[in-house]
Copies of this chain bind each other. A is one copy, B any other.
Amino acid sequence: VYDVNMPYHHGHLREALVDAALATARRDGPDAVVLRAATRAVAVSPSAAYRHFADRDELLSAVAQRCMSHLADVIESRLAEAPGGSDPVATAWGRLRAAGRAYVEFALSEPGWFGTAFGAPAGPPVPSAVAPGSPFQLLNELLDDLVATGALPPEKRPGAEYAAWAAVHGIATLLVDGPLRHVPPAGRDQIVTGVIDNVVAGLSKGLGVPDG
């Protein structure tokens, strides 16, 4: 993919290094992101990396950002193919559920990326997880839609983003890496459904609206 016959002035070394590290992270998680390995993969000397990154953490942060936007992409594409029925309230709940499922499924199908997205140093006060276009922003939009359609009473809106995020993030980490990692796929599905059901039940309490 990259021009091999160009020992000097590689041209896309930064991107190439991030891509290489991304592949490693995918297989083996954030700890496997190693400067020397990335330069090796791109057939470049170790010190070349320092033209593009101050240190290893900067490379890892770049990789983590890519992982996070992969997650956002998966959620968005799942939302794009979500069924939009005639009932806007049911549709809005369905979209929230779909996003939650997508989040957990990403974690399970790409554990390395998922772990990297959240396991990075990322010093800045506004981590990529909550930046514009992030999964968290997507979630907020879905909740706003619920309020707009009247599905969610405005007074239940504050904090709803954390309730939803915590639930899917929690079950994802427990299933991927954690004590539930040995639960077979069928059981996983049921558990995830139950967790999402309870989030929706909590948000819609007193409305009697959605339950399936």
Contact = CB atoms under 8 A, between A and B. Distances in A.
B159 A190 contact: yes
Interface of chain A, main secondary structure:
helix
A190 to B, nearest CB: 7
B119 A179 contact: no
Nearest to A118: B178
A166 B165 contact: no
A199 to B, nearest CB: 6
B127 A179 contact: yes
Given A205-B205, A206-B208, A208-B206, A166 B195 contact: yes
A171 interface: yes
Contacts of A177: 118-119
Interface string A106-143: 00000000000011001001011110000010000000
A48 interface: no
A142 to B, nearest CB: 15
A198 B199 CA distance: 7
Interface string A175-204: 001111110000000110011011111111
A173 interface: yes
A98 interface: no
Given A31-B31, A201-B201, A171 B178 contact: no
B129 A195 contact: no
B201 A205 contact: yes
A193 to B, nearest CB: 8
26 contacts: A118-B177, A118-B179, A127-B179, A128-B179, A129-B178, A130-B180, A159-B190, A160-B194, A162-B191, A163-B167, A163-B194, A163-B198, A165-B170, A165-B174, A166-B167, A167-B167, A167-B170, A168-B170, A169-B174, A169-B178, A170-B172, A173-B173, A197-B202, A198-B202, A201-B202, A204-B205
A166 B127 CA distance: 22
Nearest to A159: B194
A143 B138 CA distance: 33
